[in-house]
Amino acid sequence: MGDYVRQLPHQGSRDMARRPSAIMRLHIDIPLLLLLLVLSVYGLLVLYSASGQSMEAVYRQGRYLGLAFAVMLLVAQINLKEFERWAPWLYIGGVALLVAVLLVGVGAKGAQRWLQLGGFRFQPAEVMKLAVPLVLAWFLAGRVLPPRFFAVLGALLLLGLPAGLIVVQPDLGTSLLIASSGLFVLFMAGIGWRYIFGAVVLAAASAWPMWMYGLKEYQKQRILTMFNPESDKLGAGWNIIQSKTAIGSGGWDGKGWLQSTQSRLDFLPESHTDFIIAVLAEEHGLQGIILLVGIYLLILLRGFWIGAQAQTSFGRMMAGSLTLTFFVYIFVNMGMVAGLLPVVGVPLPLVSAGGTSVVTLLAGFGVLMAISTEKASATT
Amino acid sequence: MLPQFDLKDPQLESRVYGTRTILAIGLVMILLGVILMRYYTLQVTEYEIYRTQSERNRVQLQPLPPRRGLIFDRNGVVLADNRPSYMLSIVRERVPDLEATLADLQAVLPVSESDLETFRKKLYRSRPYEPVPLRFRLTEEERARLAVNRFRLPGVVVEAQLLRHYPHGELFSHAIGYVGRINEQEAQELDETDYRGTFHIGKVGVEKYYEDLLHGDVGYQNVESNAHGRVLRVLERFAPVRGKDLTLSLDYDVQLAAFEALGDRRGAVVAIDPRTGGLLALVSTPGFDTNLFVNGISSSEYSALRDSLDVPLFNRAIQGSYPPGSTIKPFMSMAGLLSGLVTPQSTVADPGWYSLPGDSRKYRDWILRVTGTGHAARVDMKMAIAQSCDVYYYDLARRLTIDRMYDYLHPFGFGDRTGIDTTNERAGVLPSTRWKRAAMAQSWYPGETLSAGIGQGYMLASPLQLAVATSVMASRGQRYVPRLVMAVDGEPVAPPVLEPIEAPAEYWDAIFDGMREVVHGQRGTAKALAKGIAYEMAGKTGTAQVIGIAQNAVYNEDEVAERHRHHGLFIAFAPIEDPTIAVGIIVENGGGSSAASPIARAVIDTWLQVEPTDG
């Protein structure tokens, strides 16, 4: 009796370790979920200030986040094999929608990016953010890795078609993001260094012709503005001057929560969407930036760890690509607001206000969770 | 995962993936490091630069223009005050496309070419964050339309300001002048700091002469404003010091009496208190509405004023130069007495004409045309003044000679600016041999001395000079620099005193007797004035011939004839025992002094009613 009682906790804990827990059965990666929640709360705090202390904006973003987290958990339930099976169909559907956008799409400011479905507007490019890495991972997983020449060629064609369709909308920024998510799949698949160096050389060589013939005037302007914002203080340079001012004036400590003058006095444009990091930097200083980057780094490391633990090449490639794409968002957004990169419409993941981007992003994390719990679910 | 052609090697795949993951993590760390370095540079290394810039964004120094001093008459009647008015300004820094905004604005409210021109000139000189005024005096409706369109007009601001207002318009136009928008030349000469935020400056008259006192000192405030230029709160404030209020010695009722008595005739009235040298009235007709000038008069209105035959912009009271005619005679009398050439009792034979020794030319007395003979066989000083005997003064002038005449008349204020505290005063002409050599490079002819002796020929005086000379006479030689302002912020200002004219009492009495006879005597030239008068008035009539425009104006016979008539002049002071008012009056083309003398009666009546004679 005494023995039994003494043994019970030990027995229980071993049982717990061996048997898939309720959490595992729900396909939830706890560290990832916690990190994403912490990030979302931090984001809402900044948003409250950046939106001019509007609870309404916070509630709206909260509802988007709720929806996105639900989507993430839902996606996490899907068996990885199902992703592999549906990847080509998702891809084909996505490409069809992109073609539809060009034919019957609606848009604003000279770009044609949306499909109108009843009262609902829908941007097919968002689908491709997941469909492209999925289809490439599916395509390469079925082949010998590292991929051979024809596999690389096939992958590039799969990647080039939607990227090309999005470029002509035109939406160069999204196109580059989608292309990079595909290239990350290739990279994680172990594509040969000669391809990588070749691509770098090709990119460098094509810079001049791209500048001369490929880029539109406004795109060139953005790049020029990045190098010299003072050249057009009131026009294109305004955003960068004001965001740098916001960031710089935050210093190490920051001005304090709700004390951002650049944002409160409307000097900072897009302060609650693409430029929200400037508000964070102004109010919370470099400390706040380091905290944010720290959270992001932990999420990235968790993503890489999930990839390393994955059971299949498909899972590994997907995890690697999703994680690297997530990083690209962070890098591009933080870089552009700080004047390191030209201004492109990339939100700061889980901090910038917005609905679609958050849902797409967390759907990706749903895939990551599915990968992370793949082994456990296999044992059920 | 089925192998297709080659065999898949899961272990190789896993190893390759591990390598790539490490590479990826390395790349991510490096790039995040780059990002952090960038934020470190902005937030730590360049912190001070951006801190300053953010403060400059947030906080702006705004000038607070001082309130311009008010102007009152001697009894506190407001002659110039400031009323709130709305103006539209543009902040260059906040306007993305100035031309587009200006075009948009013109669709919302009218903006004239001259508004635009002034705006552009001002824009060129001002700092990018300073509001530059474009339109003044916005109407209620224009403000409403601007409010509706505000969202598409970035950088356009509507501000309230105090604007000069002249409640009595034309009545005091020449007495106090007016303010107008600062023009380019003025802007260059002004103290830039002091006039930051001030858009108006005294242009003419008291408004200009006392600009320094009226303007006050500019203040500043640090305000927090948003990117659209809207002020959210005031952080710090240094209040402006308002301009000083001026109390003029002018009396509203006397001014009004003079203005109404002149009616629609061209002329001028100046009234002075001989005890202080303070002006009681300064009227020149026609006048004009000074309010028109405050915000830039339209060119059509301006050319109407400028081109009018009646020259309303011309201040006859101080700029006008008229032959004083017979009004010079009392002063000539004093010259005769002081020189010892005549006594109150000495007489001159009066056949009705006079000739220089050895010259056959007859200088006629005006009475010759009327009665065919002189005023009397022999004429003394009293009769000479009362009946305006020319022969008496021909004789005196000849014996006095022109240069001694100059010496005796000059202290009365002829031939020089009186130094009144307003702008554009003219000196007139008190001729002398020196003057003629300098002005005309000719020598003096004896006949010209005779003309000068009765106030004709080269001699010219403004109504102000006539009034000042009469005031000196009335106060028995006390001389003041005439003043319009008698108190600044309630503090009385002492009038500048000049060296008096020393003369025995009987000299003054003799001249006063003659001047009393002008009004109260049986044969006085202004005896009509005595009717129903309750006090004793001393006066002197005058008539000035109009010459010189006969050759070129023949279109309208009536009009030309009217403009050929003689100017009527009159000087007077009252009450004789203790004078409190002295006036100088001219009515252009009035025909004769009878046009001017009733005005003196009206003005003096009003003043004596207002200010009963006291000790």
B2 confidence band (pLDDT: 50, 70, 90): very low
In sequence order, the 6+-apart residues with CB closer than 8 A to the CB of B317 are B174, B268, B269, B270, B282, B283, B284, B462, B463, B464
The pLDDT value given to residue B259: 97
Taking a C-beta distance cutoff of 8 angstroms, is the pair A36, A365 a contact?
Answer: yes
In this complex, the residue of A190, A242, A290 whose CB is nearest that of residue B17 is: A190
Q: Does the pLDDT at position B361 exceed 90?
A: no
The pLDDT value given to residue A311: 86
> What average pLDDT does the segment A124-143 reach?
90
Please check whether residue B175 lies inside any domain of the structure. Answer: yes
> What average pLDDT does the segment B260-275 reach?
95
CA-closest candidate to residue A50, choices A244, A341, A276, A221: A276
Instruction: Using a CB–CB cutoff of 8 Å, tell me whether A287 touches chain B.
Output: no
Please check whether residue B208 lies inside any domain of the structure. Answer: yes
Domain shared by B238 and B277, yes or no: no
Q: Does the pLDDT at position B125 exceed 80?
A: no
Q: Does the pLDDT at position B129 exceed 80?
A: no
Q: Which residue of B has its CA nearest to A142?
A: B1
The pLDDT value given to residue B109: 87
User: In chain B, which residues have their Cβ closer than 8 Å to the Cβ of A314?
Assistant: 1
CATH of the domain at B523: 3.40.710.10
B368 confidence band (pLDDT: 50, 70, 90): confident
Please check whether residue B306 lies inside any domain of the structure. Answer: no
Task: Return the H-helix or E-strand segment holding B519.
Answer: helix B505-520
Amino acid identity of B591? G
From CA B65, how far away is CA B386, in angstroms rounded? Answer: 58
For the stretch B597-610, pLDDT in tens is 999 999 999 999 85
Q: Does the pLDDT at position B7 exceed 80?
A: no
In sequence order, the 6+-apart residues with CB closer than 8 A to the CB of B215 are B66, B68, B69, B194, B195, B198, B201, B243
From CA A146, how far away is CA A191, in angstroms rounded? Answer: 6
Residue that finishes a domain, picked among B232, B248, B264: B248
Task: Return the H-helix or E-strand segment holding B159.
Answer: strand B156-165
Total structural domains in chain B? 3
Computed over every residue of chain B, the mean pLDDT equals 89
How many residue pairs bridge chain A and chain B with CB atoms within 8 Å of each other?
Answer: 160
Computed over every residue of chain A, the mean pLDDT equals 86
> What average pLDDT does the segment A306-320 reach?
91
Least reliable range by pLDDT among A166-175, B432-441, B486-495, B591-600: A166-175
Can you tell me the ipTM of this complex?
0.89
Q: Does the pLDDT at position B198 exceed 90?
A: no
The pLDDT value given to residue A88: 94
Domain shared by B275 and B200, yes or no: no
A220 confidence band (pLDDT: 50, 70, 90): confident
Please check whether residue B601 lies inside any domain of the structure. Answer: yes
Best to test chain A binding among B2, B8, B11, B28 (most A CBs inside 10 Å)? B28
Q: Does the pLDDT at position A379 exceed 50?
A: no
The pLDDT value given to residue B588: 93
The pLDDT value given to residue A143: 85
A375 confidence band (pLDDT: 50, 70, 90): low
From CA B85, how far away is CA B541, in angstroms rounded? Answer: 48
Residue B473, both tokens: 């006479």
Q: Does the pLDDT at position B552 exceed 90?
A: no
The pLDDT value given to residue B12: 84
Domain shared by B358 and B462, yes or no: yes
Across the interface, whether the CB atoms of B42 and A143 are under 8 A apart is answered: no
Best to test chain A binding among B19, B29, B40, B57 (most A CBs inside 10 Å)? B57
Please check whether residue B543 lies inside any domain of the structure. Answer: yes
Please check whether residue B232 lies inside any domain of the structure. Answer: yes
Instruction: Using a CB–CB cutoff of 8 Å, tell me whether B25 touches chain A.
Output: yes
User: In chain A, which residues have their Cβ closer than 8 Å to the Cβ of B39?
Assistant: 247, 281, 286, 289, 334, 338
3-state secondary structure chain A: CHHHHHHHHHHHHHHHHHCCCHHHHCCCCHHHHHHHHHHHHHHHHHHHHHCCCCHHHHHHHHHHHHHHHHHHHHHHHCCHHHHHHHHHHHHHHHHHHHHHHHHHCEEECCEEEEEEECCEEECHHHHHHHHHHHHHHHHHHCCCCCCCHHHHHHHHHHHHHHHHHHHCCCCHHHHHHHHHHHHHHHHHCCCCHHHHHHHHHHHHHHHHHHHHHHCCHHHHHHHHHHHCHHHHCCCHHHHHHHHHHHHHHHCCCCCCCCCCHHHHCCCCCCCCCCCHHHHHHHHHHHHHHHHHHHHHHHHHHHHHHHHHHCCCHHHHHHHHHHHHHHHHHHHHHHHHHCCCCCCCCCCCCCCCCCCHHHHHHHHHHHHHHHHHCHHHHHHC
The pLDDT value given to residue B351: 92
The pLDDT value given to residue A1: 42
Domain boundaries in chain A? 24-379
- Strand order across the B231-238 sheet: B59-64, B219-225, B231-238
The pLDDT value given to residue A6: 45
The pLDDT value given to residue B514: 96
Instruction: Using a CB–CB cutoff of 8 Å, tell me whether A256 touches chain B.
Output: no
The pLDDT value given to residue B306: 87
Higher pLDDT, B554 or B133: B133
Residue B118, both tokens: 């002034």
Q: Does the pLDDT at position A281 exceed 80?
A: yes
For the stretch A168-216, pLDDT in tens is 888 888 888 899 999 999 999 988 888 889 988 988 888 888 888 877 7
The pLDDT value given to residue B615: 35
Instruction: Using a CB–CB cutoff of 8 Å, tell me whether A297 touches chain B.
Output: yes
Domain shared by B364 and B504, yes or no: yes
Q: How far lies B548's CA from each of B545, B551, B553, in Å? A: 10, 7, 10
In this complex, the residue of A142, A242, A338 whose CB is nearest that of residue B4 is: A142
Across the interface, whether the CB atoms of B5 and A144 are under 8 A apart is answered: yes
B229 confidence band (pLDDT: 50, 70, 90): low
Residue that finishes a domain, picked among B231, B248, B265: B248
Please check whether residue B14 lies inside any domain of the structure. Answer: no
Within 155-214 of A, beta carbons closer than 8 Å to B belong to 187-190
Catalytic residue among B89, B249, B284, B326: B326
Which residue range(s) make up the domain with B211? 60-248
Q: Cis omega (within 30 of 0) on the bond before A170?
A: yes
The pLDDT value given to residue A110: 64
Taking a C-beta distance cutoff of 8 angstroms, is the pair A248, B49 a contact?
Answer: yes
Best to test chain B binding among A184, A230, A245, A292 (most B CBs inside 10 Å)? A245
Domain shared by B188 and B278, yes or no: no
User: In chain A, which residues have their Cβ closer than 8 Å to the Cβ of B44?
Assistant: 251-252, 286
CA-closest candidate to residue B268, choices B572, B583, B496: B583
Within 9-48 of A, beta carbons closer than 8 Å to B belong to none
Within 123-162 of A, beta carbons closer than 8 Å to B belong to 141-146, 148
Amino acid identity of A213? Y
In this complex, the residue of A234, A249, A300 whose CB is nearest that of residue B28 is: A300
Higher pLDDT, B367 or B343: B343
Instruction: Using a CB–CB cutoff of 8 Å, tell me whether A235 touches chain B.
Output: yes
Q: How far lies B101's CA from each of A231, B124, B153, in Å? A: 21, 17, 6
In this complex, the residue of B4, B12, B43 whose CB is nearest that of residue A143 is: B4
Percent of chain B beyond pLDDT 90? Answer: 61
Higher pLDDT, A50 or B136: A50
The pLDDT value given to residue A20: 62
> What average pLDDT does the segment B377-393 reach?
95
User: In chain A, which residues have their Cβ closer than 8 Å to the Cβ of B1?
Assistant: 141-142, 312-314
The pLDDT value given to residue B554: 39
The pLDDT value given to residue A338: 93
Domain shared by B36 and B69, yes or no: no
Q: Does the pLDDT at position B410 exceed 90?
A: yes
For the stretch A238-268, pLDDT in tens is 888 889 999 999 999 999 898 888 888 888 8
A2 confidence band (pLDDT: 50, 70, 90): very low
Q: Which residue of A has its CA nearest to B4?
A: A143
The pLDDT value given to residue B392: 96
Please check whether residue B305 lies inside any domain of the structure. Answer: no
User: In chain A, which residues have their Cβ closer than 8 Å to the Cβ of B13?
Assistant: 145, 190, 313, 316
The pLDDT value given to residue B442: 92
Q: Is the dihedral of CA B387, B388, B390, B392 positive or negative?
A: positive
User: In chain B, which residues have their Cβ closer than 8 Å to the Cβ of A187?
Assistant: 20, 24
User: In chain A, which residues have their Cβ closer than 8 Å to the Cβ of B31?
Assistant: 327, 331
B85 is catalytic: no
The pLDDT value given to residue A299: 97
B6 confidence band (pLDDT: 50, 70, 90): low
Domain shared by B89 and B40, yes or no: no
Domain shared by B237 and B373, yes or no: no
User: In chain B, which residues have their Cβ closer than 8 Å to the Cβ of A248?
Assistant: 42-43, 46-47, 49-51, 53-54
Taking a C-beta distance cutoff of 8 angstroms, is the pair B266, B587 a contact?
Answer: yes
Percent of chain B beyond pLDDT 70? Answer: 95
The pLDDT value given to residue A272: 86
Instruction: Using a CB–CB cutoff of 8 Å, tell me whether B37 touches chain A.
Output: no
Domain shared by B521 and B453, yes or no: yes
Least reliable range by pLDDT among A21-35, A304-318, B495-509: A21-35
CATH of the domain at B162: 3.90.1310.10
Q: Cis omega (within 30 of 0) on the bond before A162?
A: no
Q: Which residue of A has its CA nearest to B54?
A: A245
> What average pLDDT does the segment A126-151 reach?
90
